[in-house]
């Protein structure tokens, strides 16, 4: 198994990692968001790849990310499994700011994104089974890593993928909650489906950075989101590094 981490908001670098090489594989869909770095954990033989999905300087908006180039590039260099990190809004009472969640389902509300390799142009017409959108073993890898470290991490939840880049209206959040969503984020799709199309084992580690719109009296500010990202990211990194070790 060759693993890659796709970093989200707040995760564009790692300490404790020795970087060995930076790759920029070309794909028929264009360039990935950034150089893909190959590295290994200090003192370990196991290597992994790292790609920040918003670009090295966090300049690519969720709806502008070239998800196909990112997933195709990872597959080209031999990646077989992906641990993705996503910053999300929390919709369930147990999933407030700073909660870590490994979701097990997705509802896709995105639109107008290049969302498939199997469109009859880039590849053949085909239909993946997506009943279970995340790979069970990849999910378990994240959950076990958190457990080993004694870090609370919730097992399961429905990720609602919204188009962005704006946050939701209160009514949209109510709809998502009525639909059964526990989390809402802008980058979970089409990334997960593209990974499945290329048969890459994919799971997501979500860091809740705010309550969904309209769920509290406060308006959601980027400053508050950044504060929570800062506080929560050390746990996210610890879980990832532990998961990569296994």
Residues that bind ligand HPA (CB under 6 A): 87-89, 162, 167-168, 184-186, 209-210, 212
Toward ligand HPA, which CB reaches closer, 29 or 211? 211
Distance of closest approach, residue 156 Cβ to ligand HPA, in angstroms: 19
| Whole-number Å distance between alpha carbons of 127 and 52 | 28
Which residues are paired to 27 by β-bridges? 30
Quick one: 145 or 184, whose CB is closer to ligand HPA?
184
Q: Of the two residues 186 and 198, which places its CB atom closer to ligand HPA in the complex?
A: 186
How is 127-142 classified by DSSP, letter by letter? ----SS-S-HHHHHHH
Shortest Å distance, C-beta 49 to ligand HPA: 24
One-character DSSP codes across 44-82: ---EEEEEETTTTTT---GGG--HHHHHHHHHHTT--EE
Contact (Cβ atoms closer than 8 angstroms) between residue 188 and residue 87 = no
The minimum distance between CB 121 and ligand HPA, in angstroms, equals 30
Q: Minimum distance from CB of 205 to ligand HPA (Å)?
A: 14
Select 70 or 210, whichever has its Cβ closest to ligand HPA. 210
Supply the minimum distance, in Å, between the C-beta of residue 164 and ligand HPA: 6
CB 191 to ligand HPA: min, Å:
14
Establish whether the linkage from the previous residue to 139 is cis, with ω within 30° of 0: no
With respect to ligand HPA, which residue has the nearer C-beta, 74 or 167?
167
Taking the least distance from each CB to ligand HPA, the nearer of 55 and 123 is 55
Cα distance between residue 130 and residue 199, in whole Å: 11
Length of the chain: 246
Cβ(116)–Cβ(193) under 8 Å? Answer: yes
Residue nearest to ligand HPA (CB): 89
Q: Which residue has the tokens 């400053």?
A: 223
């Amino acid at each position: 198994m060759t693993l890659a981490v796709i970093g989200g908001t707040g995760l564009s670098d790692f300490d404790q990692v020795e970087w060995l090489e930076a790759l920029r594989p070309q794909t028929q869909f264009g360039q990935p968001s950034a150089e893909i770095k190959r590295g290994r954990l200090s003192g370990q033989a196991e290597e992994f790849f790292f790609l920040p999905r918003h670009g090295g300087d966090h300049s690519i908006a969720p709806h502008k990310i070239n998800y196909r180039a990112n997933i195709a590039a990872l597959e080209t260099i031999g990646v077989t499994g992906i641990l993705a990190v996503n910053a999300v809004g929390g919709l369930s009472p147990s999933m407030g700011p700073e909660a870590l969640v490994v979701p097990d389902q997705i509802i896709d509300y995105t639109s107008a994104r290049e969302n498939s390799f199997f469109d009859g142009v880039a590849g053949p017409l085909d239909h993946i089974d997506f009943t279970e959108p995340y790979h069970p073993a990849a999910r378990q890898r994240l959950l076990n890593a958190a457990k080993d470290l004694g870090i609370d991490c919730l097992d399961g939840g429905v990720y609602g993928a919204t188009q962005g880049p704006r946050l939701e209206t209160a009514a949209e959040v109510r709809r998502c909650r009525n639909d059964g969503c526990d989390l809402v984020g802008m980058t979970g799709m089409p990334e997960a489906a593209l990974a499945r199309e290329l048969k890459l084992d994919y799971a997501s580690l979500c860091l809740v950075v705010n309550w969904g719109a309209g769920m509290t009296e406060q308006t959601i500010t980027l400053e508050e989101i950044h504060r929570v990202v800062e506080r929560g990211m050390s746990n996210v990194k610890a879980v990832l590094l532990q998961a990569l070790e296994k």
